[in-house]
């Protein structure tokens, strides 16, 4: 009894931050997202230990074999093991997702801060962003890929160009609403310089929505990489990324649907997991629930 | 109201201008000589020279842009480098499948997603609501091409209900035309459907808690009348907005869907053009898709002004 009272009192008085595990237990979709993502990361990170097949080793005797005990997810048209290719292929997809998320949020943050604070820069920057956002994302990315040498770096750049305007809009919106706040005015009146106001007062307010956006960008980037590769305008075809494996399976789909379905499911599950995490992060960081944090 | 409409219409001009500059500039983003980039790795110096004069790449940058813009505004999209046919002609040939696919998808999507969203809002919190919304998250995460292949596998390869791929023009009969559109429009519409269902549920749910709904309920209206005559029209603005935003997803998705289902539309045309670096074709299709998107959103904004007198910009 006394213990419970003391515990309740502690809970009421200490604004203790809850751990990830605490939230995961109360939020099944977050837990599901975490579990799937953890499994995908483990499978791709330990890829070479989870299979003894080389992802690029050709085996002419085992062409187009359906899933079996020997080949968990079957083999492709030149007898390469699909389980091995799928888990190895995840590396490049996840890598691109993370790099694009980091690159896009940092560049988007910078442009958004400038745009939100300087009216002159805003007029020019928002025109460009509106124009970029009026071109369907996939088309913009593949058109960019068409004229650049095919490499992983180009893929990262193409996806970033598509995603940056969305981040800029978000950051700009936050800046515009925060700069009207009394404490920012107070800082201006007391003689703080623009740079200091941006970094001390405005930047911290953008971080919560920005981190939610970063998860969505990461999911979108993984999706885009596979789309671009699937259309033949992405990661160089010799790299076994999820999109490239699927692109190779197109001709054989009726004979061997597993070539496309195996990496396709892996890709979809990964994107699903990241979206679930993003959604629960958004709910957690929503100011209305801020007290619960 | 008229000043409002005219102001909104004028606002599209700078956006269209920026789109034109971006579409034009894409070629010049690449390092090195654009003519050499288009010609590819095995080109002879003569071929590169030909391309340069044909596209006017020997002119100063500003003159090139002005020339291209004047031609485009006159409906002259240039000559395809690969097939040597006028780009406008190529586009007209490919227009029907893309328009058919887009319209079929929009109809299927709205017809399925809005009732699902309204139903989920009515039964908010129940197991069926939770199930529908989980499906919405799934639909949002499974990319068009994966959904497309799953549908082909289930309905065409295993059950053999529907054709695997391809397109039949309307002239060859309505039934074959429709049969070939079912799977592509379902695949393309999946993420769009998830989006609309979620928004419909959220905005109907909000309306359902208002006083006039309580009054309507007290009057003894049937559930159907209550939901579709009273709640849905008041929840329409966010739903229509998201349908407009979804057009961007749709236009982009067309490119992928046409590749999966081997539909000879604009999307297929642009993907082939990109693989062949057929610059005039890429420019024209990019421009058409973007202008469509801008005008769809303009139309939606104008519809608001007419439908909802509360809206003022």
What is the DSSP code string of A99-159?
A: HHHHHHHHHHHHHHHHHHH-HHHHHHHHHHHHHHHHS-HHHHHHHHHHTS--SHHHHHHHH
Distance from CA of B297 to the nearest CA of A (A): 10
Look at residue B66 and tell me whether its pLDDT is greater than 90: no
Taking the alpha carbons of B160, B165, B171, B172 in that order, is the dihedral positive or negative? negative
- Work out the average pLDDT over A63-77: 77
Distance from CA of B223 to the nearest CA of A (A): 31
Look at residue A132 and tell me whether its pLDDT is greater than 70: yes
CB contact under 8 A, A148 and B29: yes
Between CA B27 and CA A84 the distance in angstroms is 38
- Residue A290 — very low, low, confident or very high, per pLDDT cuts 50/70/90? very low
Report DSSP letters for chain B, one per residue: -HHHHHHHHHTHHHHHHHHHHHHHHHHHHSSS-HHHHHH-TT--HHHHHHHHHHTTTTS-HHHHHHHHHHHHHTT---B-TTT-SBHHHHHHHHHHHHHHHHHHHHHHHHHHHHHHHHHHHHTTTSHHHHHHHHHHHHHHHS-HHHHHHHHIIIIIIIS--S-SS----GGG-HHHHHHHHHHHHHHHHHHHHHHHHHHHHHHHHHHHTSHHHHHHHHTT--HHHIIIIIIHHHTHHHHHHHHHHHHHHHHHHHHHHHHHTT--SHHHHHHHHHHTT-HHHHHHHHHHHHHHHHHHHHHHHHHHHHH-TT---
What's the mean per-residue pLDDT of chain B?
Answer: 84
Taking the alpha carbons of B49, B53, B59, B63 in that order, is the dihedral positive or negative? negative
**Planar angle of CA B151, A89, A222, nearest 5 degrees:** 65
| Greatest mean pLDDT range, A75-89, B159-173, B254-268, B292-306 | B254-268
The answer, for B92 touching chain A at a CB cutoff of 8 Å, is: no
> Which range (B3-12, B25-34, B155-164, B230-239) has the least confidence?
B25-34
CB contact under 8 A, B14 and A138: no
Give pLDDT, residue A9: 52
- Residue A292 — very low, low, confident or very high, per pLDDT cuts 50/70/90? very low
- Residue B54 — very low, low, confident or very high, per pLDDT cuts 50/70/90? confident
Between CA B207 and CA B151 the distance in angstroms is 36
Give pLDDT, residue A4: 57
Q: How many CB atoms lie within 10 A of CB B197?
A: 27
For B178-197, the pLDDT digits (tens) are: 888 989 999 999 888 988 99
Between CA B52 and CA A56 the distance in angstroms is 41
Look at residue B140 and tell me whether its pLDDT is greater than 90: no
Cα distances from B43 to residues A241, B233, B281, in angstroms, run: 30, 60, 20
pTM: 0.85
Between CA B171 and CA B177 the distance in angstroms is 8
CB contact under 8 A, A131 and B277: no
Q: How many CB atoms lie within 10 A of CB A291?
A: 7
Distance from CA of A115 to the nearest CA of B (A): 17
- Residue A167 — very low, low, confident or very high, per pLDDT cuts 50/70/90? very high
Among candidates B14, B248, B271 on the partner chain, residue whose Cβ is nearest the Cβ of A127: B14
In chain A, pLDDT over 90 holds for what percent of residues?
A: 24
Among candidates B26, B138, B150 on the partner chain, residue whose Cβ is nearest the Cβ of A143: B26
- Work out the average pLDDT over A193-199: 85
Query: Which one of B98, B143, B273 makes the best mutation probe of the A interface by having the most chain A beta carbons within 10 Å?
Result: B143
- Work out the average pLDDT over B48-52: 80
- Work out the average pLDDT over A86-92: 88
Give pLDDT, residue A104: 96
Tokens representing residue B103 in the block: 């319209």
CB contact under 8 A, B255 and A138: yes
Between CA B7 and CA B3 the distance in angstroms is 6
Top pLDDT among A271 and B140 is at A271
For A210-251, the pLDDT digits (tens) are: 998 999 999 999 999 999 999 888 888 888 889 999 988 888
Cα distances from B88 to residues B58, B212, B241, B283, in angstroms, run: 24, 53, 32, 11
In chain A, pLDDT over 70 holds for what percent of residues?
A: 90
Yes or no: say if A63 and A79 are a contact pair by the CB < 8 Å rule: yes
Tokens representing residue B264 in the block: 């000879």
CB-CB neighbors (< 8 A) of A148 in chain B: 29-31
ipTM over cut 0.85? no
The H-assigned helical ranges of A190-202 are: 194-196
CB contact under 8 A, A143 and B143: no
Give pLDDT, residue A15: 46
CB proximity under 8 Å: B 9-28 to A: 14-15, 17-19, 21-23, 26-27
Q: Which of B22, B19, B23, B49 is nearest to B34 (CA)?
A: B49
- Residue A6 — very low, low, confident or very high, per pLDDT cuts 50/70/90? low
- Work out the average pLDDT over A90-101: 93
Side-chain half-sphere CA neighbours of B159 within 13 A = 8
Cα distances from A206 to residues A74, A115, B200, in angstroms, run: 47, 14, 29
Residue in chain A nearest B130 by alpha carbon: A29
> Which range (A10-19, A33-42, B224-233, B249-258) has the least confidence?
A10-19
Give pLDDT, residue A291: 37
Give pLDDT, residue A182: 86
Query: Which one of B13, B274, B281 makes the best mutation probe of the A interface by having the most chain A beta carbons within 10 Å?
Result: B274
CB contact under 8 A, A136 and B290: yes
Look at residue B311 and tell me whether its pLDDT is greater than 70: no
Query: Which one of A97, A131, A218 makes the best mutation probe of the B interface by having the most chain B beta carbons within 10 Å?
Result: A131
- Work out the average pLDDT over B19-46: 78
Give pLDDT, residue A286: 66
Query: Which one of A31, A130, A138, A247 makes the best mutation probe of the B interface by having the most chain B beta carbons within 10 Å?
Result: A138
Give pLDDT, residue B69: 85
Give pLDDT, residue B80: 84
């Amino acid at each position: 009894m006394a213990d419970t009272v003391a515990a309740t009192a502690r809970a009421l008085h200490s604004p203790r931050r809850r751990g990830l595990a605490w939230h995961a237990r109360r939020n099944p979709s977050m837990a599901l997202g975490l579990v799937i993502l953890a499994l995908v990361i483990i499978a791709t990170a330990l890829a070479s230990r989870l299979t003894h097949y080389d992802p690029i080793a050709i085996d002419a005797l085992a062409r187009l074999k359906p899933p079996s005990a020997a080949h968990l997810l079957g083999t492709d048209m030149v007898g390469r093991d699909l389980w091995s290719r799928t888990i190895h292929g995840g590396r490049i997809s996840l890598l691109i997702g993370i790099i694009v998320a980091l690159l896009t949020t940092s560049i988007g943050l910078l442009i958004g801060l400038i745009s939100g604070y300087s009216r002159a820069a805003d007029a020019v920057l928002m025109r460009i962003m509106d124009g970029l956002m009026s071109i369907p994302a996939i088309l913009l990315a593949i058109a960019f890929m068409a004229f650049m040498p095919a490499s992983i770096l180009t893929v990262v750049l193409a996806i970033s160009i598509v995603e940056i305007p969305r981040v800029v809009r978000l950051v700009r919106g936050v800046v515009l609403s925060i700069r009207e706040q009394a404490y920012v005015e107070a800082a201006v009146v007391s003689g703080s310089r623009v740079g200091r106001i941006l970094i001390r007062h405005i930047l911290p307010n953008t971080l919560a929505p920005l981190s939610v956006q970063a998860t969505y960008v990461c999911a979108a980037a993984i999706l885009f990489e596979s789309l671009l590769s699937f259309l033949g305008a992405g990661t160089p075809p010799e790299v076994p990324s999820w999109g490239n494996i699927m692109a190779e399976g197109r001709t054989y789909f009726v004979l061997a649907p597993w070539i496309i379905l195996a990496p396709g499911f892996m890709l979809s599950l990964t994107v699903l997991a990241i979206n679930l995490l993003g959604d629960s992060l958004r709910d957690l960081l929503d100011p209305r629930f801020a007290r619960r944090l | 109201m008229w000043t409002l409409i005219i102001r909104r219409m004028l606002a599209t001009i700078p956006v269209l201008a920026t789109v034109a500059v971006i579409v034009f500039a894409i070629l010049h983003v690449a390092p090195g000589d654009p003519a050499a980039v288009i010609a590819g790795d095995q080109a002879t110096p003569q071929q590169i020279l030909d391309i340069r004069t044909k596209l006017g790449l020997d002119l100063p940058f500003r003159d090139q842009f002005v020339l291209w813009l004047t031609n485009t505004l006159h409906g002259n999209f240039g000559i395809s480098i690969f097939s040597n046919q006028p780009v406008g002609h190529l586009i007209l040939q490919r227009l029907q499948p893309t328009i058919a696919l887009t319209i079929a998808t929009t109809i299927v999507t709205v017809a399925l997603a809005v009732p699902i969203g309204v139903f989920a809002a009515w039964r908010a919190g129940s197991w069926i609501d939770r199930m529908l919304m989980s499906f919405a998250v799934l639909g949002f995460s499974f990319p068009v091409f994966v959904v497309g292949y799953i549908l082909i596998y289930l309905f065409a390869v295993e059950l053999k209900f529907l054709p695997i791929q391809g397109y039949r023009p309307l002239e060859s009969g309505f039934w074959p035309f429709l049969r070939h559109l079912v799977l592509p429009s379902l695949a393309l519409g999946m993420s769009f459907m998830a989006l609309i269902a979620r928004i419909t549920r959220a905005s109907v749910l909000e309306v359902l808690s208002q006083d006039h709904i309580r009054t309507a309920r007290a009057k003894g209206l049937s559930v159907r009348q209550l939901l579709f005559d009273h709640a849905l029209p008041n929840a329409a603005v966010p739903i229509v907005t998201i349908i407009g935003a979804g057009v961007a997803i749709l236009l982009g998705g067309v490119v992928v869907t046409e590749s999966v289902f081997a539909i000879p539309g604009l999307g297929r045309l642009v993907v082939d053009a990109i693989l062949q670096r057929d610059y005039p074709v890429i420019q024209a299709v990019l421009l058409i898709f973007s202008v469509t998107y801008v005008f769809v959103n303009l139309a939606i904004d104008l519809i608001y002004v007419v439908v909802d007198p509360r809206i003022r910009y």
